[in-house]
């Protein structure tokens, strides 16, 4: 296994990782501890100084409902957002500050989706909710204050998996303007070099990835494009893709591969690899100034594509 060279890692990010290591995070833990740890990590996400309007609602689905939170002023563009957390953790509250930051920075409406989590609701429950939410927003965009021609899907980490799947289903029909992926998990079937190099100590340990996958998709073929979107045979026809990765991230290789395959398929790809940051940087703007700079760039990309 190649040892990670930390010389290019942002100094504040390095100090944060050292602090986390001293706190004893990492390794395999129970699901409730996993959720508490993730919620604690998300507390380093800082909302913008400006006020961003937000209201809670829900999407009716038979005898149940999918909770959502709406951010920002009306139109012109809208971003359907799926939170990260390995598809086992996270929710509307953990990603509240991040959604406010993106809504303010991009000047768009954000619909944050509280999809069902594993292990209580394993594969494909989260995908079902993501697709139902996307369909609902597309059908009701005007009522939600969004131009129906300017709707994108997005997400971070495991939420990026869901966004890529939603783009695969709806984007090929021309119904989505873009997909916005932040350090997405795109390939669970391969053993990339980055998953080995950054297997421990970079906020997403190999043991955590493995445990989340067992909770989410036990005994499922990992080559299934609904688990590993990178494994889709054909990526042609997907919408414009904003893809931000971090150099110190176990998932960076699959992000690079996805960007390369999209470009080869003729898709408009706006790829940025943040050379000094690690996984989860998008939620560390409260402690790592470089993360705020990266978020500003992400927001600009979104504003440009939805303009």
CA distance 68 to 55: 9
Q: Where are the beta strands (DSSP E) in the chain?
A: 54-61, 64-71, 78-82, 109-113, 151-156, 178-182, 240-248, 269-278
36 sits in which H/E element:
helix 31-42
**279 annotated active-site:** yes
Q: Say which residues have a Cβ less than 8 Å from residue 88's Cβ, sequence separation at least 6.
A: 31, 34, 35, 117, 118, 119, 212, 215, 216
CA distance 66 to 256: 32
Q: How far is CA 190 from CA 28, 46, 115, 207, 222, in A?
A: 21, 34, 26, 16, 9
**157 annotated active-site:** yes
Nearest by Cα to 295 from 152, 163, 110, 98: 98
- From the list 249, 253, 280, 301, the catalytic residue is 249
Asked if residues 299 and 60 have their Cβ atoms less than 8 Å apart, the reply is no
Q: Say which residues have a Cβ less than 8 Å from residue 39's Cβ, sequence separation at least 6.
A: 89, 90, 93, 94
Q: How many CA atoms lie within 13 A of 19 on its CB side?
A: 10
Task: Quote the DSSP letter at residue 250.
Answer: T
- From the list 215, 244, 279, 280, the catalytic residue is 279
- From the list 112, 157, 194, 228, the catalytic residue is 157
CA distance 87 to 66: 15
Quote the tokens at residue 189: 């079937």
Q: Which residues are catalytic?
A: 157, 249, 279
């Amino acid at each position: 296994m190649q040892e990670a060279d930390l010389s290019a890692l942002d100094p504040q990010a390095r100090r944060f990782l050292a602090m986390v290591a001293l706190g004893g995070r990492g390794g395999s833990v129970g699901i409730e501890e996993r959720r508490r740890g993730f919620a604690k990590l998300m507390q380093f996400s800082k909302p913008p100084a400006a006020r961003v309007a937000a209201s809670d609602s829900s999407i009716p689905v038979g005898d149940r409902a999918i909770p959502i939170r709406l951010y920002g002023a009306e139109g012109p563009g809208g971003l359907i957002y799926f939170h990260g957390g390995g598809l086992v953790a996270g929710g509307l509250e953990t990603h509240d500050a991040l959604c406010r930051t993106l809504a303010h920075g991009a000047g768009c409406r954000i619909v944050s989706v509280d999809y069902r989590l594993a292990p209580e609701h394993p594969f494909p429950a989260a995908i079902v909710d993501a697709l139902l939410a996307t369909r609902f927003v597309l059908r009701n965009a005007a009522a939600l204050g969004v131009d129906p021609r300017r709707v994108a899907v997005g997400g971070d980490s495991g939420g990026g998996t869901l966004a890529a799947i939603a783009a695969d289903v709806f984007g090929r029909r021309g119904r989505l303007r873009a997909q916005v992926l932040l350090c997405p998990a795109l390939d669970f079937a391969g053993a990339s070099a980055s998953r080995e190099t950054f297997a421990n100590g970079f906020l997403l340990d190999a043991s955590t990835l493995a445990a989340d996958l067992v909770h989410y998709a036990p005994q499922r073929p990992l080559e299934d494009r609904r688990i590993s979107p990178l494994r889709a045979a054909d990526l042609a026809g997907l919408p414009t893709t904003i893809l931000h990765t971090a150099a110190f991230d176990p998932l960076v290789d699959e992000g690079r591969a996805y960007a390369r395959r999209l470009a080869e398929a003729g898709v408009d790809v706006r790829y940025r690899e943040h050379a000094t940051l690690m996984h989860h940087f998008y939620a560390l703007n409260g402690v790592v100034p470089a993360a705020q700079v990266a978020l500003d760039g992400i927001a600009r990309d979104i504003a440009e594509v939805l303009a």
